[in-house]
Amino acid sequence: MKAARFSRFGGPEVLEIVELPDPHPGPGQVRIAVRAAGINPSDWKKRSGQMDPELPQTMGYEAAGVVDEIGEGVTDAAVGDRVFGFSVEGAAQAERALLSFYAPIPRSLDFPGAAALPAAIETATRALDQLGVENGSTLLVNGASGSVGSAAVQLAVVRGARVIGTASPANHAYLSALGAEPVAYGEGLVDRVRALAPDGVDLALDVAGSGVLPELIGLAGGPEHVLTVADFMGAQKHGVRFSRGDSGRAVHVLAEIGELVDTGRFSLPVAQTFPLAAVAEAHRVGENGHVRGKLVLLVG
């Protein structure tokens, strides 16, 4: 099978499409013929050597496709099912992939739309769970217009929270459509938030990693009310919780998101698609930033 891989660390140019043996599912896993695979910021961190030291490495943690082989003990999927989910091996950007956590693709979604979901909705749900966002909470989301941020906004609104979201003015209409009250980031952020919430907010989630943890701490009344998924060093410096996937994945959201998608209460736009062979170009576009929605590779 064809798969994206790199054998040295560096820029997008180190990515190549290689032939690898077809994987076979272990207990509890399914194998899919991949139709689409999501692109994430963790991909370029991995490619540039910021995550794992081993070489070579395959790419991709989320995919959607058609089940073509099932592992021992699998009773909730059958060959021919359309599913989406996580490749814990980090090898989803390929013609075949093993999914350890998966769910049926929502009826209203195509393969690219489904492949865009897993990382964003899991990260957002894990953060909301760990913060304790619930009905009546006032939540500030820093970096609310990106894929994880917009997922967090919508999922918090579903829980009954009031959401204030930071974004550039060009994205304010988008945030309003998602149910958030938008504010511009940058100098004067605290005053703009307090104009909407004079007593501050109950909780704050940092998705952007833009160095505003002290401001979020002040608005939320202490570091214990703030969580970041993007600023590890800042979290250590300011005593804020940093959430990562190895602290317990919120994979329950895979099975829950379908109803929200099919009833119009959740959406995550696909910003741009690329063929698998153009994975390096997808990385270049993603690293340049300013993408609203997900970048997705089309496979098969």
pLDDT digits (tens, 9 = 90+) for 221-259: 999 999 999 999 999 999 999 998 765 789 999 999 999
Amino acid at 217: I
For residue 234, tell me if it sits in a domain.
yes
How many domains does the chain divide into? 2
Secondary structure (DSSP) of 72-129: TT--S--TT-EEEEE-TTS--SBSEEEESEEEEPPTT--HHHHHTSHHHHHHHHHHHH
Kindly state whether residues 8 and 98 are assigned to the same domain: yes
The SS3 assignment for 203 reads strand
Q: In the prediction, which pLDDT does 247 show?
A: 58
> Which residue is associated with the tokens 């504010």?
183
Domain shared by 33 and 132, yes or no: no
Clarify whether residues 47 and 28 are in a common domain: yes
**Tokens encoding 40:** 């994430």
Q: Could you tell me if 26 and 40 lie in one domain?
A: yes
Q: Is residue 149 part of a domain?
A: yes
**pLDDT recorded at residue 289:** 74
Does residue 106 lie in a domain region?
A: yes
Whether residue 145 lies inside any domain: the answer is: yes
Kindly give the parts of the chain with pLDDT less than 50: none
CATH code of the domain containing 210: 3.40.50.720
Distance CA 94, CA 96 (A): 5
Instruction: Kindly state whether residues 137 and 203 are assigned to the same domain.
Output: yes
In this structure, the answer to whether residues 112 and 172 fall within a common structural domain is: no
Q: Cα(64)–Cα(92) distance, rounded to whole angstroms?
A: 9
In a domain, 90, yes or no: yes
What's the DSSP call for residue 223? Answer: G
Q: CB burial class (10 A; 0-12, 13-18, 19+) of residue 160?
A: exposed
Domain coverage including residue 285:
2-116+269-298
DSSP strand E in the chain: where?
2-6, 15-19, 30-39, 57-58, 62-70, 82-86, 96-99, 101-104, 138-142, 162-167, 181-184, 203-206, 226-228, 241-242, 270-275, 294-298
Query: In this structure, are 127 and 235 located in the same domain?
Result: yes
Give the β-pairing of 181-184 and 162-167. Answer: parallel
pLDDT score recorded for residue 11: 95
How many Cβ atoms from other residues are within 10 Å of residue 101's Cβ? Answer: 19
**CA nearest to 10, candidates 248, 283, 262:** 283
Residues 129 and 210 in one domain: yes
* Residues 87 and 47 placed together within one structural domain of the fold: yes
Q: What is the CATH number of the domain that holds 90?
A: 3.90.180.10
Q: Is the pTM of this model over 0.85?
A: yes
Cα-based distances in Å from 210 to 105, 143, 187, 216, 244: 34, 8, 12, 11, 17
Q: What is the distance between the alpha carbons of residues 171 and 46, in angstroms, rounded to a whole number?
A: 29
pLDDT in tens, 268-284: 999 999 999 999 999 99
Amino acid at 105: I
The answer to the question of residue 252 being in a domain is no
User: Would you state the pLDDT for residue 50?
Assistant: 86
Calpha distance 209→104 (Å, rounded): 33
Specify if 264 maps to a domain: no
Instruction: Pick the closest to residue 139 from 119, 126, 117, 154 (CA basis).
Output: 154
CA 205, 211, 212, 218 dihedral sign is: positive
258 lies in some domain: no
184 and 138 assigned to the same domain: yes
Please check whether residues 41 and 154 belong to one and the same domain.
no
The reply to whether omega before 25 is within 30° of 0 (cis) is: no
Domain identity same for 189 and 161: yes
